[in-house]
């Protein structure tokens, strides 16, 4: 269920500029480029910077939510909007639903680990049935001022955020496997005639099969593992 909104309110730009400034403050402190705030209409309630170094769960959204809870004296934030420089992750998205945030505005989409783009937690209507724990899905304004937020994010090594993240994924590029000699992934294998036998050719076929398995695991399971072949094996597959 899509609940994306194109409605921009007059104070959205002001608050998103502040979130981007907070994300820069986080980078300056040696943390990741995330900044969030909570507002009621045009009134700022609380701000949050990513504080991963202190506590791994201290995402900017969580920090802002907890501050707003303390300031307002209630966990019912149904009058509030959360602004954040990057799409909330699944953990933060569940907390947004529990705090009953009515509106979410984010800049950079998170196609790999987002609670809206990757997993539809913010849009989920089934958990709305679990009242009074979860709220109805909030209105979502996605990708608002993405270009401005990206300027700060690109100062870090976190390439996985932004609407073009998948096209920039360095793990999807055809990198050579970790062997002592280069080889072509498209190396042709000689087809033997009936009755013809060759230990070297059969060995080469087995090694190519081994390589194809390693390549599939590395590219499709995102394990980061590489197939490692001995020098002798590499020389066998490099021969025609």
Active centre residues (catalytic): 61
Sequence-ordered strand ranges (E) for the chain: 35-40, 43-49, 81-86, 103-108, 139-141
Q: Which residues pair with 176 in a beta bridge?
A: none
C-alpha pair distances (Å), 119 with each of 42, 78, 94, 164: 30, 22, 11, 18
Cis geometry, peptide bond prior to residue 132 (ω within 30 degrees of 0)? yes
Cα separation of 90 and 88, whole Å? 7
The first and second tokens of residue 161, run together, are 């955020």
Largest Cα separation within the chain, whole Å, is: 84
CA torsion sign for 144, 145, 147, 149 is negative
Cα separation of 185 and 213, whole Å? 12
């Amino acid at each position: 269920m899509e609940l994306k909104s194109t409605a921009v309110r007059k104070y959205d730009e002001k608050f998103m500029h502040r979130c981007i400034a907070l994300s820069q403050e986080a980078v300056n402190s040696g943390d990741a480029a995330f900044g969030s705030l909570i507002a009621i209409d045009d009134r700022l309630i609380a701000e949050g910077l990513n504080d991963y170094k202190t506590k791994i769960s201290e995402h900017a959204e969580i920090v802002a939510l907890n501050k707003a809870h303390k300031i307002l004296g209630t966990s019912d934030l149904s009058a509030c909007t959360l602004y954040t420089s990057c799409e909330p992750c699944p953990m933060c998205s569940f907390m947004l639903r529990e705090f009953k945030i009515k509106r979410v505005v984010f800049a950079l989409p998170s196609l790999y680990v987002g609670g809206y783009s990757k997993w539809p937690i913010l849009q989920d209507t089934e958990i709305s049935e679990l009242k009074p724990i979860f709220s109805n899905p909030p209105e979502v304004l996605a990708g608002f001022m993405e270009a401005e937020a990206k300027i700060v994010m690109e100062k870090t090594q976190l390439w996985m955020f932004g609407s073009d993240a998948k096209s920039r994924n360095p793990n999807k590029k055809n990198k050579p496997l970790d062997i002592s000699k280069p080889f072509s992934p498209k190396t042709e294998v000689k087809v033997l005639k009936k009755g013809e036998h060759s230990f070297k050719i059969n060995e080469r076929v087995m090694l190519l099969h081994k390589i194809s398995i390693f390549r599939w695991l590395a590219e499709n399971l995102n394990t980061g593992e590489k197939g490692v072949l001995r020098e002798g094996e590499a020389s066998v597959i490099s021969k025609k």
